[in-house]
Amino acid sequence: MALGAAWQGWRLLHSAGMSIDDLIEASSSRDALLAWWSGRLDLRPQLVASLAGAVGSVALLRVLTPEVATHLRINVVSYLSVGWAGAVCGAALYWCLILTFLAWRIFVLDDLALVWHSPASGAAVRRLSMGYAFASAAVLMASVAAELLALKIPNRAESRLVGAVSLAFPFSPFVAVSLTFAVGLLPHFWLRRAVVRRRDRSLVTISKLLPSDPPSDLAGLGEVSLGLEAYRRVETAPLLPFSTTTMVEYAAALLGSLAAFLLTR
């Protein structure tokens, strides 16, 4: 499931590549952004993240072996399986953080090629939003799995050590929920700020075209009406590719799952 989610995530990112390039084409920070991204694609930091996840998982299993040995058979295959899962989780965590920071690197720029009359409707914005929505859904599923695991472990072994580990990294629901917030909400928060900045510049431009005093004839009134209609359309354009209510519901679901976990402890 993790590999399938990663594959689909890369497909979404690849399909958005040309649109993202168009979005930052005229930006003065384009070369710096591309250099940063190339560095993140380097194999070495990815291997370090995977190795850290594998070593941490194997070490955790080694510590827990005396506590769970009466319930589970631990052998070499167990260590290999846990190490592989830890490596995948380490790589997934690396890319979750990198992609979240990528959103900040893009949307913090003031010279993005956003549509002036509806900044949230551009192809790059829609595809980036779709990609981060998919990533947030995948992380949300992982968060729920971590919470279920944290609830299940104490029932399999009555041990203070196992109970403590069930509340510690990497099973901590607090860590999982924080990561889900970062992947799902922060990119859209930065996206919304970029859209608002572009919208405000458009409104300032339109305002300068409008007369400071009311028109004195019908012809002038017609021209002003067109300007006011354009101003109203830009002012009421969506700030996100989807309803803001969706983000509120997403945050409520995260907090609700965390509250449910705490109430069952």
170 pLDDT tier (thresholds 50, 70, 90): very low
Q: Does residue 111 surpass a pLDDT of 70?
A: yes
Q: How far is Cα 242 from Cα 258, in angstroms, rounded to an integer?
A: 25
Q: Does pLDDT of 68 surpass 70?
A: no
Q: How high is the pLDDT of residue 224?
A: 82
Our CA dihedral for 180, 103, 114, 23, rounded to 10 degrees, sits at -130
How many domains does the structure of the chain reveal? 1
pLDDT tier, 221 (very low <50, low <70, confident <90, very high otherwise)? confident
Considering only 24-28, 91-95, 107-111, 239-243, which range has the smallest mean pLDDT? 239-243
AA identity, residue 78 = S
In this prediction, what percent of the chain has a pLDDT beyond 90?
Answer: 28
pLDDT at residue number 160? 53
Supply the DSSP symbol for 213.
S
Which range is least confidently modeled, 149-153, 167-171, 237-241, 246-250?
167-171
Cis previous bond, 238, omega within 30: no
Q: What is the pLDDT of residues 204-220, one digit of tens each?
A: 999 988 887 777 766 66
Joined tokens for residue 47: 């291997």
Q: How many other C-beta atoms can be found within 10 angstroms of the C-beta atom of residue 235?
A: 12
CA distance 121 to 64: 51
| Residue 109 predicted with pLDDT over 50 | yes
Q: Which domain holds residue 231?
A: 2-264
